[in-house]
Amino acid sequence: MKILVLGPGAREHAIVLSLLSEDAGHSIVCAPGNAGIAASGVETVDLAFTDPTAVTKYVSDRGFDLVIIGPEAPLVAGVADPLRAGGVPVFGPNADAAQLEGSKAFAKRIMDEAGVPTGRAAKVTDAASAGAVLDDFGAPYVVKADGLAAGKGVLVTEDRDAAIAHVATWAPHGEVLVEEFLDGQEVSLFFFADGRDVVPLTPAQDYKRIFDGDQGPNTGGMGAYSPLPWLPGGTEAFVEEIKQTVAIPTVRQLADEGTPFIGLLYCGLIVTPKGVRVIEFNARFGDPETQVVLARLESPLSAYLLAAAQGELASLPEPTFSDEPAMIVVLASEGYPGDTTTGREITGLDAAAAVTGVHLVHAATARTENGGWIATGGRVLGVVSRGQNFAEARGRAYSAMNEIDLEGGQFRSDIAERVA
């Protein structure tokens, strides 16, 4: 197949590596991609990938059998819409259905209509009226800005004044929700969706905070692992429950409203003592969870993405996953998730990639003139490892990470520790 993958990061690198591993002779282009994706032998193209007009022109000039949209920005910008209208198979929802990620208020309404289990929430319009709502919900306080806020819109805090200040910051920009605090382990579970039917992938756990022990500010994700041996009832029963109570009702609700969801339904879940609750939906593959989920995927990814794009998921069996665990440790630049220092040299990548059971995915790197590497962003790259068990996978991931040098580089040392 001729496949176009849109997006610049490690998630797209993982998708590309999974497509290459099919050995199906796909011709893959990634736009814009990154230097790591190019080093994997894939053509990268400098394209305004969040601009529907630019992408549509490129696709009609070059011709593709499948377009895979990685990040949320092009989805919310409506890149899928003209492609789908023009008959191109696209994996990624139209802008209206992408509101499931783009607007927390929209997502809450869909969940309510579909009867999906989620925490209580209330809209607040200004700081003056927020106090009474916060007191009603009690501490810890959860305050969420509507709309894409690059991870900065959500505040979870014990500090009532900070919660009110967060409302004051975001209320002028749109709706703000106060939510019931949900206590428990977080799970990310993805489903392929074709507008009507869904096919599950397998659960992973993300590490959102910057520091060990889940301390410090939220990030895009500093690590992940899969499977989750502690899931109540085991993986199979858990996946089936979420499919029946969350994924199918959500996709059917969107279809009934005339905004069918075709793409990747990311269910962000918390396992509470009272049962599983949805804390958020995303309309795309999670990063870095995708890197570990696809590292375990044994079925051909392209078959599912194409079937979803063509409304034919019901014809496919559920994909299978290796029993071997996988994990990823993310390397970030100094200062991340605040102001980051970039442009620094990275060394040791070849030695890291040579560790048994390890491969690297690049998020923000560039080549130097003499063939070296520099870091160009916050999250720089990830070390993905597999092993017969988590102890082995952890040993491999961290010995690879220890081969890599980046001045001021940060990574968590406790990824998958709770399961090893």
- What residue ranges bind ligand GLY (CB under 6 A)? 206, 221, 282, 286-287, 289
Q: With CB cut-offs between 5 and 8 Å by kind, which of ligand GLY, ligand AMP, none does residue 12 bind?
A: none
CB 146 within 8 A of CB 104: yes
The Cα-based distances of 109 to 213, 231, 388, 392, 398 in angstroms read 34, 28, 43, 44, 43
Cβ proximity to ligand GLY, 93 vs 300, nearer residue: 93
Cβ proximity to ligand GLY, 359 vs 379, nearer residue: 379
User: Strand 2-7 to strand 66-69: parallel, antiparallel, or no bridges (unpaired)?
Assistant: parallel
Residue 313 binds ligand AMP (CB under 6 A): no
CB 112 within 8 A of CB 158: no
Q: With CB cut-offs between 5 and 8 Å by kind, which of ligand GLY, ligand AMP, none does residue 363 bind?
A: none
Interface positions, 112-131, toward ligand AMP (CB under 6 A) = 119
CB of 410 to ligand GLY, least distance (A): 17
Contacts from 36-43 at CB under 8 Å and sequence distance 24+? 36/10, 36/360, 36/361, 36/362, 36/363, 36/365, 36/381, 37/12, 37/13, 37/362, 39/362, 39/367, 40/13, 40/16, 42/16
| Stretch of 20-28, 179-187, 239-247, 257-265 contacting ligand AMP, by CB under 6 A | 179-187
* Paired residues of 319 in beta bridges: none
Q: With CB cut-offs between 5 and 8 Å by kind, which of ligand AMP, ligand GLY, none does residue 289 bind?
A: ligand GLY
Number of shown-chain residues binding ligand AMP (CB under 6 A): 15
Omega of the bond prior to 288 within 30 degrees of 0, cis?
yes
Closest alpha carbon to 219 in 167, 166, 265, 286 = 286
Residue of 11, 208, 359, 396 that binds ligand AMP (CB under 6 A): 208
CB of 277 to ligand AMP, least distance (A): 8
CB of 381 to ligand GLY, least distance (A): 16
Cβ proximity to ligand GLY, 113 vs 414, nearer residue: 414
Report the C-alpha dihedral over residues 236, 212, 336, 364, rounded to 10 degrees: -50
Residue of 15, 73, 279, 332 that binds ligand AMP (CB under 6 A): 279
Residue 154 binds ligand AMP (CB under 6 A): yes
Rg from Cα positions in the chain: 21
Cβ proximity to ligand AMP, 82 vs 337, nearer residue: 337
In the stretch 218-257, what mask flags binding to ligand AMP with x, by CB under 6 A? x---------------------------------------
Residue of 35, 105, 127, 156 that binds ligand AMP (CB under 6 A): 156
Residue 181 binds ligand AMP (CB under 6 A): yes
Residue 332 token pair:
């970030």
Residue 142 binds ligand AMP (CB under 6 A): yes
Residue 268 binds ligand AMP (CB under 6 A): yes
Q: How many residues make up the chain in this entry?
A: 420
At residue 173, the 3 state secondary structure works out as helix
Q: With CB cut-offs between 5 and 8 Å by kind, which of ligand AMP, ligand GLY, none does residue 142 bind?
A: ligand AMP
Return the HEC string of 343-407: CCEEECHHHHHCCCCEEEEECCEEECCCCCEEECCCEEEEEEEECCCHHHHHHHHHHHHHHCEEC
**Alpha carbon 245 to its chain's center:** 21
CB of 193 to ligand AMP, least distance (A): 19
Cβ proximity to ligand GLY, 282 vs 410, nearer residue: 282
Q: With CB cut-offs between 5 and 8 Å by kind, which of ligand GLY, ligand AMP, none does residue 211 bind?
A: none
**Alpha carbon 14 to its chain's center:** 12
CB of 187 to ligand GLY, least distance (A): 12
CB 270 within 8 A of CB 182: yes
Cβ proximity to ligand AMP, 245 vs 299, nearer residue: 245
* Paired residues of 406 in beta bridges: 346
CB of 290 to ligand GLY, least distance (A): 8
CB of 193 to ligand GLY, least distance (A): 17
Neighbour tally for 52: CB within 10 Å: 17
Q: With CB cut-offs between 5 and 8 Å by kind, which of ligand AMP, ligand GLY, none does residue 40 bind?
A: none
Binding positions for ligand AMP, rule: CB under 6 A: 119, 142, 144, 154, 156, 179-182, 186, 208, 218, 268, 279-280
